[in-house]
Structure 1
C-alpha cells in the first residue's frame, strides 16, 4: 500500500523518519512529504496557501498507480482532508494523527504569530501542557533545530471543499492529547469543532496517549497504530 505521510506545522518529510521504516518493513511504500515553502528556513513562502499544500498532495497521489492511504499530523489533517475531497475515489483511508478533518470555510490556526510571510515555531511556553507531554528537553532542542516556518497562507487560508463523496472514505483518528472517548462525546453532542468528522459514517478511534508530536515522543507506537489501520483497510477491501 502506498502511504502518503503529511507533516504538521513547522515540519518536513524528515519528521517521519522514526515512523516510515516500520511501514516499509511491513511491506508498504511510505511517501513522507515536504510541502511547498517548507524546503528550508530560507525558502520563499510568499503567496503559498492551504490549497497549494493540498495540490502538492494530490499531485503525489495522481502519480501513484492505485489507491492510497493518507496520513496527516496536526495541521496536515486539514491538508489530507482537502486531498480526499479532491480525489475521493483515490483514497482507501484517511488517518488523522492528533488532528481531524477541517470543514468548509475553516482555517487551521489564525491565532499564531506571523512574521511577514512566515509563521515561526512559537516558544514552548505558548503551548498547552498537554501538547508537550513526553517532549523532553532533548526532543525539544531537536524539534526546534529542524523547525521550518509555516507559510502564513497555510495557517490562515480557508478550506474549500466541493465533493461530498469525501464522507465515504473511511477514517481513523489517532488521539494523543486527550482520550478518544472525549472526542466521541463532542461528536455526539454536536460540537461545531467536530462537525465535519460527525458527517463521516465510518470512523474508528485509536488512543495513543502522549503529547501533540507522537512521531517524536512515541514513533514506534504511532507506526503500529498506522499499520493497524492500514491492515484493517486491506482486510475490508479483501
Structure 2
C-alpha cells in the first residue's frame, strides 16, 4: 500500500447524528436541509468504511475535522493524499486523472468491506472513475460540492460556463500550462469566505501548485459500472468555487438518490464538519 495513504481505524462511544434528517428522493431534483436526525446507516447500527477524496489545492489533511466525528461511531476512515497533493512527492508532470484514480482504487482495495466513497470538488471526477473501476466495492458514491459529470466530459468544459464560480478569477496558470496557482486572497474571498482566520491560515500554509493536466482530461464511465452505484449529492449553498446553480445543474442532469444541503462555502469540511459527518453517517 502507498505509504502516504493515511488509514485510521479507531472505536469509541457512539455519537448520535441528531443534526440531520434526510428523506429518500426519486431523483436529484430537490434537497434536504441542514438539520434533523441521522444514524450510522439505514438501521442505525451498521458501520461504514469511508474513503475521503479531497479536491484541488488541498490534501488529505482537509478532512481532519471530519475524520474523528466519523470514527467516533466506530466507522473506518481512509483519507488519502492524491498524487502531487498534501505530502505526496509525485512530480506535477506525473499527475493525471488515471494516476489519481489508481490511488483511490488502492484505498478501496485496502478496505475491509464495500466503501462509502466521498469526493470533494475536483475529487468528484476521481471518485467517478474509481467507481467505474470497482463498482462492486463501492456501497455509495457521495459528491460533496463536487463535479458530477457524464462520460466524455472534462472538468474544464463543465466549469467554463459556471458564471458564479468567482474563484476562477484567482487561478493563474503557469507559463508552460502544466500547473495552476492562486492569487492572494483566494482562500478568504472565494475558496472559503465563511472560514475562520485559523482555517484561512491553514489553507494558505498548505497551498501547493496544482497539476493542470487532470482538469482537461475527460472522464470515462459507463452506466453498467459507475451507473450501477447509488449516488448522493451534498450541495453547498454559499459556494463560490462551484456555484449552487452549477451544482444543481449537475445533480439534475444525472440521477441521484438524495440531495443534502449544507449552508456553507466551498469547504464545509472546515466550516461545518459536524453537518458533513452527520450527512455521511446518515447514508
The separation in 2 between residues aligned to 1:126 and 1:147, in whole angstroms, is: 10
Richer in helix (by share)? 1
Task: State how 1:14-29 maps to structure 2 within 5 Å.
Answer: 14-29=61-76
C-alpha distance in structure 2 between counterparts of 1:72 and 1:52, whole Å: 16
Q: Is the 8 A contact 2:62 2:269 kept in 1?
A: yes
Deviation at 1:185, TM superposition (A): 10
In 2: Cα distance, 1:122 partner to 1:173 partner: 30
CA contact (8 A) 1:6 1:73 kept: yes
Cα distance per residue 1:64-97 (max 9 Å; x no partner): 2321110111111111011111111111101111
Return 5+ residue gaps in structure 2 as ranges.
1-47, 161-170
Q: 1:154 aligns with which of 214, 219, 243?
A: 214
Offset of 1:178 from its aligned partner? 5.5
- After superposition, the CA RMSD in angstroms is 2.8
* Cα pair 2:58 2:86 within 8 Å, conserved: no
Post-superposition CA distance 1:88-127 (Å, at most 9, x none): 1111101111114222222223774322432224443599
Q: How many residues align?
A: 218
Partner SS, residue 27 of structure 1: coil
* Higher mean C-alpha displacement, 108-117 vs 155-164: 108-117
Mapped contact 1:47–1:153 kept (Cα < 8 A): no
For normalisation by structure 1, the TM-score amounts to 0.80
Asked if structure 2 preserves the Cα contact closer than 8 Å seen for 1:61 and 1:90, the reply is yes
The unaligned stretches of length 5 or more in structure 1 are 187-192, 230-238
The one-character-per-residue Cα deviations of 1:24-71 (angstroms, maximum 9, x if unpaired) are: 111110100101111449751113111210111012112223211101
* 2:145 aligned residue: 98
Please say if residues 55 and 83 of structure 1, whose CA atoms lie closer than 8 Å, have aligned partners that are also in contact: yes
